[in-house]
Structure 1
Amino acid sequence: MAQLTEPPVRVVLVDDDALVITGLRMLLAGDPRIAVVAELSDGDQVPAAVLDHRPDVVLMDIRMPGVDGIEAVRRLGEQADPPPVIMLTTFDADQTVLAAIRAGAAGYLVKDAPPEQIVAAIHAAAAGDPVFSPTVVRTLVRHTREEPRPAEPVLPTGLQSAFDALSERERAIARAVAAGRSNAEIAAELYLSAGTVKADISTMLGKLGVDNRIQLAILSYRLDAAPPNLA
């Protein structure tokens, strides 16, 4: 009997630079579990292409001369059950990162990320996991640290108690996430398996009512008595 295999992850590439598109296509062609189903040069083309090709993941640049990536993510969010979008860009400035996440991006990678990280990010996003470069996590947490504190707390009532109820190991993992560590780095630091770290993060997201590790990182910085080491 022939062995059943999972269908490849269907990806739409969006970038106005033809050389970048070519490079990404060649990179992803090395993984038989990924299939590029469309290549676009403007964010305005994204909603229609998603309806036509039904991709599992959209890998998109932010800065484009027509409709930029952030506006394209917003428009895509108006569709029913849109695919996750990974922003792949040379820009990791605070406001650009924040705008992408607020628009609904499921991941944010800089273009100098190692090829294997880009491939892994696509598979993670297709599986429903948000993906952010460690440098992006650090950018967001630093932004939270440096922004003026509001006169009144804006966090939901009871969130501090929920955070305090986390186990010592969970708080240590949350602290490491806030410092921009990857799951593998956290596992090595805390002498855990990567699977345990991933499971603990998923559990904490549920306990705290947040959607992704970026929100977990920000909450850890705001609520933890021992803030992360961002050096």
Structure 2
Amino acid sequence: MKLDQALQLLVQSGHKPPPGAPGSVAWLQGLIDALCDLSSRDALTGLANRRSFEAALAREIDRVARSGEPALLLILDIDHFKRVNDTYGHVVGDQVIRIVAEGLADCVRPMDLPARVGGEEFAVILPNCPPAFGQTVAERIRAKIESKIISLTPTQHLGVTVSVGGAFAPQWVRSSPSLWCERADLQLYRAKSEGRNRTCLEPTPVSLVSAEEKGLLFGNTLSGDSE
């Protein structure tokens, strides 16, 4: 990509040109940094995109396995989103997505990673989140989003709700991002089946170790012993 094309892409995405004299080392570094940030962000919401989320998820589950510190994964899905698109159109659908992203960003700490991982699906990784606070955090996010209203006309307003599922990473266990997501997804399905606009976390903060996780754990141990 040529420099002028890169700069044009940056400006079109809403970013300011990098500071400094064009072509200088500082300017080029600023351009590279801005492009890297752009590639990791969802264009509609400004949250982390799926690629950035998956990389962070892998790092976090590895950290939990080594440190034993708790970490919570929440997955959110906008309730009846297809109905919104079919009834009001995609422009309003985009507004709904942005409203949910704003509500999510309002509720997280600087260390947390909120992301848009699909059309109407969001996720947030919460490192060092004690199990005692998990339900409170999830409920705060759900309530914050529910409180946001989109004004379609002076007399017509649209409310937004989400269903939330959550799971803690197994501590001191060599798990995988896909297994962690599956656990959170199961709770999301439970929230939807129980009526939507609710939060469901795993019943116990200490997850049962699956057969696949045991294989990862003992496989690691055996390979380490053979070296």
User: Could you tell me the TM-score, scaled by structure 1's length?
Assistant: 0.27
- Bigger CA radius of gyration: 2
User: Could you tell me the TM-score, scaled by structure 2's length?
Assistant: 0.27
